[in-house]
Amino acid sequence: MKNLPQFIFLLFHTLFIGIAVYESQENLYQLIPLVMISSMLLYFYLHNFSKNKELVEKDIQISTIIFAILGGLATFALQDRFELSAVLSAGIVGLFGGILPKIIAKPLAKIASSAIYCGAFVGMTPPVLAGNYLFITLASIFAGFILILTRENFNGYGGKLGSIAFAGVSLVSLLTYMLL
């Protein structure tokens, strides 16, 4: 249980790169960099795990999930209803999440900032894949849970929130595929 966040990240990064390797088997120019990236990720996971573990308060956990849902739904709504691009939609929501701690000087605003931004990545899922707001809500809930699990891990490393969003969307896609 101690290394569960690292295992989740390793699993989804391996899945993502494995699919990319499978799709580029015939093109050696794509295969070599993917194998190198996989090797570097494996090295990172084996040698650079964060050792700092602190318990997070229950109200912070619920707030994280709620803000992740709000970020995901807001981004998806901008994309779906107002026909903005996914990048512009996520940029607008992410900007709001980023300036929130500057406007409101409360500890909750700092928690909300990263959760909203993570949800914005979830909301970038194309409507063709997501289908509806329920998909985005469920993916945001999963992303919020993973964000809580990894709150003290991978700080200072780029791509954490995007990887969490990818994991949330992947889990819901997998569940949808298995159940429907």
Name the DSSP letter for residue 125: S
Name the DSSP letter for residue 49: -
Render pLDDT for 136-168 as a digit per residue (tens, 0 to 9). 999 999 999 999 888 877 776 678 899 899 999
Alpha carbon separation from 162 to 9, 25, 31, 40, 60 (Å, rounded): 11, 26, 23, 18, 21
Render pLDDT for 82-96 as a digit per residue (tens, 0 to 9). 889 999 999 999 998
Higher pLDDT, 134 or 31: 134
The pTM of the full predicted model, rounded to 2 decimals, is 0.72
Q: What is residue 149's predicted lDDT score, i.e. its pLDDT?
A: 85
C-beta of residue 121 within 8 angstroms of C-beta of residue 102: no
Burial class (CB in 10 A: 0-12, 13-18, 19+), 45: middle
Q: What rounded mean pLDDT belongs to the chain?
A: 82
- Could you tell me how many helices (H) and strands (E) the chain has, helices first? 8, 0
Higher pLDDT, 49 or 26: 26
Closest C-alpha to 169, from 82, 78, 76: 76
